[in-house]
Structure 1
Amino acid sequence: MELKVSTRSHAGQALVAITGEIDLYTAPHLQSEFTRLLQDGPSRVVIDMSGVDFCDSTGMNVLLSALKRMKERGGALDVAAPRPAVRKILQVTGLDSVFTVYDAVPQELLITEGS
């Protein structure tokens, strides 16, 4: 399955919307998107996972790597709107206590184009 990643940035914050499956085959694409995004230097990144059907350990490692890089710069990386299967993975692995997990994308990040 294809992985789609779209990013919107505004006022030092970025919303990364992911659609598809994050696994061994698609994780490198996500990794390169995070590398590109973090060069822009946002202080906060929220990952909208409402479109993610599946995420394996490779995908979780990509998220952890991005979180580590953000924390090294004094920033934050949060997870929003994970589907039940992804939320269960976060809970089973204990990563729900590592990431801040929101039930929905925070309202302040739901910016419209041109604002």
Structure 2
Amino acid sequence: MDFKTINTGDAAEVWLTGRLEFTDHDRLSDIIALVEQSAARRFVLDLSGLEFIDSAGLGMLLVLQDETESRNIKMIVRGPAGDVRRSIELARLSEVITVEF
């Protein structure tokens, strides 16, 4: 998984590309550090470029949700498509995370 970021003042946006899998767990700490350093009130995680997500990747989304929530930051997952969207729907993550399909 690769990612790039942009801060727009009120929002920190992260675009994920490739595959989000168990082996990306170390990269999660880089994204959490961005959340910790940001003064933004919204954290947008754009998954439109993500091709695949496994159960560990779904768990990482929940960890990010916990991190943002503990800092009073609104997390939004945007644009999951294909298999990534199906995985998110099957896991019913939209019940605990704001997902914009």
Q: Which residue does the alignment assign to 1:11?
A: 9
Please tell me whether Structure 1 or Structure 2 has the larger radius of gyration of its CA atoms: 1
> Given residue 37 of structure 2, which amino acid in structure 1 is its aligned partner?
D
Higher share of residues assigned helix: 2
| Larger displacement relative to structure 2 (6-15 or 32-41) | 32-41
> Which whole-Å deviations, capped at 9, do the CAs of 1:43-92 have from their partners, x for residues lacking one?
21111101111001111111111111111121111111101211111111
Q: Which residue does the alignment assign to 1:60?
A: 58
> Counterparts of 1:1-115 in structure 2 under 5 Å?
3-29=1-27, 31-41=28-38, 42-103=40-101
TM (normalized to structure 2)? 0.90
Secondary structure at the aligned position of 2:12 is classed as strand
* Contact 1:5/1:33, CA 8 A, preserved across alignment: no
The Cα shift of 1:39 comes to 2.0
CA RMSD of aligned residues (A): 1.2
> Given residue 21 of structure 1, which amino acid in structure 2 is its aligned partner?
R
Matched residues in 2 for 1:73 and 1:52: separation?
A: 26
Aligned residues between the structures: 100
Matched residues in 2 for 1:56 and 1:28: separation?
A: 15
Runs of 4+ deviating beyond 2 Å: none
Structure 2 segments unaligned to the other structure (5+ residues): none
Structure 1 segments unaligned to the other structure (5+ residues): 104-115
